[in-house]
Amino acid sequence: MKKRGILHTQLASCIAALGHKDLFMIGDAGMPIPQGVPIVDLALCGGVPSFKQVLDAVLEEAELEYYYLAEEIQDKNPLIEKYIYDVLEGIKGERIPHIELKRLSKEVKFAIRTGEFTPYANVILRAGVAFEA
């Protein structure tokens, strides 16, 4: 039995299959997932698991090089925005209009749905490489 890290079989498999430059998304319970994008649905009930819990677990497993947030998070969910900036410190990212984030979500390799019930708690992450060239 695996004793640490992500135990969810589907999520662990999706992360292990990431290649350099692959995009994936962590979204709140209300984020629309485009048809055809595989969903790792972790939502149990409102707030469980939280966006923060899922992002923290993913950061322990995946190497990242870039991220995208919705511009609207700045006004609508500044606590989550600050959290994302804090835990992704040193990783480049940008804010784009929410409509563009939804458009970009069509290109993700998979999407993780959390139980988060706060607005704009969504991030698209780009996989990096775990070694130096």
- CATH number of the domain at 58, please: 3.40.1650.10
Would you say residue 124 has pLDDT above 90?
yes
* β-strands 23-27, 123-127 pairing: antiparallel
Classify residue 7: in a domain, yes or no: no
What is the chain's percent helix, strand, coil content, to nearest 5? 30, 25, 45
CA 72 to chain centre: 17
**Token digits of residue 85:** 């900036």
98 a catalytic residue: no
Q: What's the rounded mean pLDDT across residues 17-31?
A: 98
Classify residue 27: in a domain, yes or no: yes
Classify residue 67: in a domain, yes or no: yes
**Token digits of residue 58:** 């993913």
Classify residue 114: in a domain, yes or no: yes
Classify residue 6: in a domain, yes or no: no
Classify residue 9: in a domain, yes or no: no
Would you say residue 27 has pLDDT above 70?
yes
Provide the pLDDT for residue 131. Answer: 85
Q: What's the rounded mean pLDDT across residues 72-94?
A: 98
Instruction: Give just the sign of the alpha carbon dihedral 83, 84, 89, 94.
Output: negative
Q: What's the rounded mean pLDDT across residues 62-66?
A: 98
What whole-number percentage of the chain has pLDDT above 90?
95
Classify residue 108: in a domain, yes or no: yes
Identify the domain containing residue 55 by its residue range.
Answer: 20-127
Would you say residue 66 has pLDDT above 80?
yes
- CA distances for 131 relative to 49, 67, 86, 128, angstroms: 31, 19, 23, 9
Q: How many distinct structural domains can be found in the chain?
A: 1
Residues in contact with 50: Cβ distance below 8 Å, sequence separation at least 6, in sequence order: 114, 115, 116
**Choice among 13, 20, 75, 99 that is catalytic:** 20
Q: What's the rounded mean pLDDT across residues 28-44?
A: 98
